[in-house]
Amino acid sequence: MRLKRLYDREAPKKEWGERVETCPTCKGKGVVVNQSRTGVDQCPAGCEAGRLVTKVPPVSGVQVLHAGPEQHFSPNFLEGGMKESWLSMDTDQITIHGADGDLVYKVLRTPGRYGDEVIHYYDCKKLKGA
Q: Report if residue 26 touches Zn ion, rule: CB under 5 A.
A: yes
Q: What is the 3-state secondary structure (H, E, C) of the chain?
A: CEEEEEECCCCCHHHCEEEEEECCCCCCCCEEECCCCCCEEECCCCCECCEEEEEECCEEEEEEEECCCEEEECHHHHHHHHHCCCEEEECCEEEEEECCEEEEEEEEECCEEECCEEECCEEEEEEECC
Least distance in Å: CB of 19 to Zn ion?
A: 15
Among residues 48 and 100, whose Cβ is nearest to Zn ion? 48
Query: Which one of 3, 43, 64, 103 is in contact with Zn ion (CB under 5 A)?
Result: 43
Among residues 31 and 89, whose Cβ is nearest to Zn ion? 31
Among residues 26 and 94, whose Cβ is nearest to Zn ion? 26
Q: Report if residue 25 touches Zn ion, rule: CB under 5 A.
A: yes
Query: Which one of 33, 40, 45, 49 is in contact with Zn ion (CB under 5 A)?
Result: 45
- Please give the residue ranges that form the binding site for Zn ion (CB under 5 A): 23, 25-26, 43, 45, 47
